[in-house]
């Protein structure tokens, strides 16, 4: 099973590549869902309304199974794909890379465009800090008030983060922990009396 993935720590903005008068401005954003993706694209379109093209590629999902490469009016395969290939080359996912082009009057031809968009994505990702993130899962545990110390000790042993804690006669607690620990914590909780738990998918 896969327990971790590589992505970028924070956005990279305004890397610049000049090619025969054309300017390519690069951006990279960490994105976790369609909404973050859309917001990032809209933000750059609003920032550069006069640009000739806003070409981009993204990968999302553990294996990068959700992906798209967009040429935004450039010849097919000359922009989005070279950008996408840089995401593959860096083995990163949950990342959007945009290359904004201001046309400089000299046509670059398809091979020139491929080279320029590839280079723009490459220098943008070279500026990024690539990090490894571990996958997490949420668990909901129900237990008696008198057991809370035991439960909290167990959670800290597995580096779980408490997200929500509702104390009553019967306590309900939600925590997130690394998927790699799922089986271990399940084994421990299963051995306890008066404790029930479930994982939220």
pLDDT per position as a tens digit, 127-161 = 999 999 998 999 999 999 999 999 999 999 999 99
Q: Confidence band (pLDDT; 50, 70, 90) for 3? A: confident
Question: At residue 50, what are phi and psi to the nearest 5 degrees?
Answer: -95, 0
pLDDT at 63 exceeding the cut of 90: no
CA–CA distance, 32 with 141 (Å, rounded to integer):
26
Supply the pTM of this predicted model. Answer: 0.80
3-state DSSP assignment of residue 169 = coil
CA–CA distance, 78 with 115 (Å, rounded to integer):
9
């Amino acid at each position: 099973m896969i327990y971790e993935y590589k992505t970028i720590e924070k956005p990279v903005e305004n890397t610049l590549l000049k090619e025969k008068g054309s300017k390519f401005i690069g951006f990279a954003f960490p994105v976790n869902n369609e909404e973050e993706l859309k917001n990032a694209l809209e933000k750059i379109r609003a920032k550069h309304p006069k640009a000739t093209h806003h070409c981009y590629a993204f990968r999302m999902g553990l294996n990068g199974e959700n992906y798209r490469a967009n040429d935004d009016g450039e010849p097919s395969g000359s922009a989005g794909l070279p950008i996408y290939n840089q995401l593959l080359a860096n083995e990163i996912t949950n990342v959007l890379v945009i290359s904004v082009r201001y046309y400089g009057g000299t046509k670059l031809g398809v091979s020139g465009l491929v080279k320029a968009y590839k280079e723009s994505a490459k220098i943008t990702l070279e500026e990024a800090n690539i990090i490894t993130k571990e996958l997490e899962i949420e668990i909901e545990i129900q237990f008696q008030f008198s057991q809370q110390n035991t439960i909290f000790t167990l959670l800290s042993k597995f580096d779980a983060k408490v997200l929500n804690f509702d104390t009553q006669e019967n306590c309900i607690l939600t925590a997130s922990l690394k998927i790699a620990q799922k089986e271990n914590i399940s084994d421990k909780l299963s051995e306890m009396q008066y404790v029930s738990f479930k994982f939220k998918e």
